[in-house]
């Protein structure tokens, strides 16, 4: 039962019809007996700053999950960032700092590699191609680079974002073979870290004819579960790794980020 003691959490994105995080977090709040609720907010890109400024004034709002297209622009609206969020240049969780500011962290990368590990897909020593250079892609790039792949190839439509990510990775991981490419062929793991596939009329993020048996094609999009590029890759004989694994890999981390230090009270009359 929601009441006056309930702590509020939101998810900001556009669109939000596909999101799965509020459902998962509300189940965790319920399972742990915590007096909290998370709801999705559909916020267009141009409205993010005004939205966060208003939300800061809601005293019982404790934090936010940030999703497409806000992960990079939300960085500028945070008072504090963790080192990994600063390196990725993106955030996907915010929590209140004092009365009028948010601190940010980026958990997508850790969630993605945790999902790969749970499915038995190795990173170390593998040739990896990452398609995308936005918020989630940048976080995934950092997490992959930390696990010593043999090679990391970056592909993205926006040259400016691509060059910026490439430079950050080269600076932080000077021993890593990180290159800018155009084709996904010749890799062991190909990751679609773009939003292409979220809408029914989206083009494919890369040519599926370049993958086949022995290649893992991974996705970050959660809905639909099997995106068009995963369908196409499976028809070519590639192994596929759906996007839901990234969320499953970071749910506990998101929960801890929001609930540590006793930030959320127990529901009255109920224990964990």
pLDDT tens-digit readout, 129-144: 999 999 999 999 999 9
- Which pLDDT does position 261 carry in this prediction? 82
With a pLDDT cut of 90, the percent of the chain lying above it is 93
71 is catalytic: yes
CB 222 within 8 A of CB 197: no
* Alpha helix ranges (H) inside the chain: 21-31, 48-55, 83-88, 108-118, 135-145, 159-172, 228-235, 244-259
Q: Does residue 184 carry a pLDDT above 80?
A: yes
- Which pLDDT does position 3 carry in this prediction? 94
Out of 107-111, 184-188, 259-263, least confident range: 259-263
Q: Does residue 270 carry a pLDDT above 60?
A: no
Would you say the CATH fold of 109-241 matches that of 7-106+248-262? yes
Q: Assign 226 to helix, strand or coil.
A: coil
The alpha carbon of residue 247 and the mean position of all alpha carbons in its chain are separated, in whole angstroms, by: 8
Q: Where are the domains of the chain?
A: 7-106+248-262, 109-241
Spatial neighbors of 193 by CB under 8 A, at least 6 apart, are 130, 131, 132, 134, 136, 137, 140, 220
Mean pLDDT across 28-41: 97
| Average pLDDT over all residues of the chain | 95
Domain 7-106+248-262 has CATH 3.40.920.10: no
Among candidate residues 10, 13, 38, 71, the one labeled active-site is 71
Confidence of residue 57 (pLDDT cuts 50, 70, 90): very high
Q: What angle do CA 233, 218, 216 make, to 5 degrees?
A: 60
- Which pLDDT does position 262 carry in this prediction? 85
Among 3.30.420.40, 3.50.50.60, 2.40.30.170, 3.40.50.720, name the CATH number for the domain at 109-241: 3.40.50.720
pLDDT digits (tens, 9 = 90+) for 197-214: 999 899 999 999 999 999
Q: Which residues pair with 151 in a beta bridge?
A: 127
Confidence of residue 43 (pLDDT cuts 50, 70, 90): very high
Q: Which two tokens stand for residue 57?
A: 């004034």
- Which pLDDT does position 269 carry in this prediction? 63
CB 13 within 8 A of CB 69: yes
**DSSP tag of 172:** H
């Amino acid at each position: 039962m929601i009441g006056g003691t309930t702590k509020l959490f939101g998810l900001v994105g556009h669109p939000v019809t596909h999101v799965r995080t509020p459902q998962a977090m509300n189940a965790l709040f319920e399972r742990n007996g915590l007096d909290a609720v998370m709801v999705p907010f559909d916020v267009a890109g141009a409205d993010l700053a005004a939205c966060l400024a208003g939300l800061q004034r809601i005293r019982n709002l404790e934090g936010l999950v940030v999703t497409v297209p806000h992960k990079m622009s939300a960085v500028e609206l945070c008072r504090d960032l963790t080192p990994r969020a600063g390196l990725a240049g993106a955030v996907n969780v915010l929590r209140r700092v004092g009365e009028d500011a948010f601190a940010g962290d980026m958990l997508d990368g850790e969630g993605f590699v945790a999902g790969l590990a749970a499915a038995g897909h190795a990173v170390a020593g593998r040739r990896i191609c990452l398609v995308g250079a936005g918020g989630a892609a940048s976080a995934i790039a950092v997490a992959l680079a930390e696990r010593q792949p043999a090679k990391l190839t970056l592909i993205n439509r926006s040259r400016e974002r691509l060059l910026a990510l490439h430079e950050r990775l080269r600076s932080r991981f000077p021993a890593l073979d990180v290159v800018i490419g155009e084709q996904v062929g010749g890799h062991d793991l190909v990751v679609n870290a773009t939003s292409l596939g979220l809408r029914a009329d989206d083009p494919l993020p890369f040519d599926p004819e370049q993958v086949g048996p022995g290649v893992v094609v991974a996705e970050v999009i959660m809905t639909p579960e099997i995106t068009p590029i995963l369908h196409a890759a499976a028809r070519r004989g590639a192994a596929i790794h759906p996007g839901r694994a990234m969320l499953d890999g970071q749910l506990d981390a998101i929960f801890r980020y929001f609930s540590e230090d006793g930030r959320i009270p127990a529901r009255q009359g109920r224990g964990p």
